[in-house]
Amino acid sequence: MKFTKASPLKGEITIPGDKSISHRSVMFGSIAKGTTEISHFLQGADCLSTISCFKKMGIQIENNHDTVIVHGNGLRGLKKPETILDCGNSGTTTRLISGLLAAQDFDVTLTGDESIRKRPMKRIMEPLSFMGADIKSVKDNGCAPLSIIGKKLHGIHYTSPVASAQIKSCILLAGLYAEGETKVTEPYVSRNHSEIMLKYFGANVKTEGTTACIAPVKELYGNKIVVPGDISSAAYFIAAGLMIPGSEILIKQVGINPTRDGIIHVCRDMGADITLLEVNTDSGEPTADILVKSGSLHGITIGGAIIPTLIDELPMIAAMACFAEGETMIKDAAELKVKESNRIEVMVRNLSAMGADVKETEDGMIIRGGRPLHGAVIDSKLDHRIAMTFAVTGLCAEGETEILGAECVNISYPGFYQDLERLMK
């Protein structure tokens, strides 16, 4: 797919549902009693992988596109799947489901695509083993395929070396079935969608600072869920609105949970004109319409506690920094190396190919903004965040940018290119 310099982007856009919340609504709905009706469900390939795994474990799920209805079977209602569970490209599916499976009364093997089979799983295997789980990497390389034999688990207090909602959620889900209390402490607070939704379904979950705590209950109870727009997907339109001169975009009903809203803080610190309208805090997951107007930006340092709140947006933020005056430093972001691709290496290589002044560091990158970018051939490495980042960057560069593997945006944002094109008219 090819991109050239765009005229101002104008108009309104509604972003597809949040990926993290969509996954959890199917998972928790499946182990709850009763029906969970999910509206604005993300029909991305990752969330469809989650649906397919739970269908294989005997859960009846009706997918009517915008609405998904999960007929939960209760905490002990999952059945042994007849085949291997395929988590596709989804780290969230693989890691969260492992926590659940560790405590069932059957054994199972799960795997995923080439990218998933390279992503680190020791980070969940270790704490689950401390709880009494039997979980092994089939090839003994710390990656999927994973073989899990369900066991009786006991609670632990785990101190995680990384702030990761996937690690935290995996342990909390195992803790839902374990004897006693299970606690996870992280260096910084990661996204808290599991805690919010589990509590909403009747789980005994508490949080204090960077510690989340769960104690077993008899059952969870399904409930209605309205999934907010995904701020990680909105990020591409926030950036396009800021980077393309003369643009003004209203992004409707985006989730602005404080554990996810780092991009708004960073853009404002860079001098961006961003207004939150129609802020709604009625449910546990607050939403707002985000109004973005183009303008000049300046470089900043991004690191520490804000990193987990914008981890998936960092590729787009790095590209945006090329259009800001002065230096932007991204640090404490080594987690970027273990996503769908090594996002530090892939960003530095591709931004450099477009003429940017960018240097890789051990835990991030340093970008000196202000150099005009030119088009280039971009290998997305089949990483959806990389493809979307360079589609937007291509709209701000001289000449033509070609994205290889552009169709991978289907993982988290089917219809992304059509939505972008609509705002260009």
| Phi, psi (deg, nearest 5) at residue 358 | -140, 135
Residues 6+ apart with CB under 8 A from 141: none
Contact (Cβ atoms closer than 8 angstroms) between residue 272 and residue 291:
no
Q: Could you tell me the smallest distance in angstroms from the CB atom of residue 343 to ligand PEP? A: 8
Touching ligand PEP, residues 330-359 (CB under 6 A): 339-340
Residue 280 CB: number of other CB atoms within 10 A? 13
Q: Which one of the listed residues 261, 312, 379, 383 is annotated catalytic? A: 312
Helix axes 231-243, 262-269, angle to 10 degrees: 20
**Number of residues that this document lists for the chain:** 425
312 is catalytic: yes
User: Minimum distance between the CB of residue 19 and ligand PEP, rounded to whole angstroms?
Assistant: 6
Q: Which does 164 bind (CB under 5 to 8 A by kind): ligand S3P, ligand PEP, none?
A: ligand S3P
247 binds ligand PEP (CB under 6 A): no
Say whether 312 counts as a known binding-site residue: yes
- Which of left, alpha, beta for 370 (phi over 0: left; psi -120 to 50: alpha)? left
Spell out a b/e string for 361-396, using b for 16 or more CB atoms within 10 Å of the CB, else e: eebbbbbbbeeebebbebbbbbbbbbbbbbbbbbbb
**Amino acid at position 136, single letter:** K
Whole-angstrom distance, CA of residue 123 vs CA of residue 304: 20
Between 71 and 117, name the residue whose CB sits nearer to ligand PEP. 117
Q: What is the footprint of ligand PEP within residues 365-424 (CB under 6 A)?
A: 385, 412
x/- mask, ligand PEP, residues 88-107, rule CB under 6 A, reads --xxx---------------
Q: Which residues bind ligand S3P (CB under 6 A)?
A: 20, 91-92, 164-166, 169, 190-191, 311-312, 335
Q: Please give the annotated binding residues for phosphoenolpyruvate, written as ranges.
A: 19, 91, 119, 166, 343, 385
Catalytic center residues: 312
Q: Which residues are annotated as a binding site for 3-phosphoshikimate?
A: 19-20, 24, 164, 166, 312, 339
Binding site members: 19-20, 24, 91, 119, 164, 166, 312, 339, 343, 385
| Residue numbers at the binding site for ligand PEP (CB under 6 A) | 46, 90-92, 312, 339-340, 385, 412
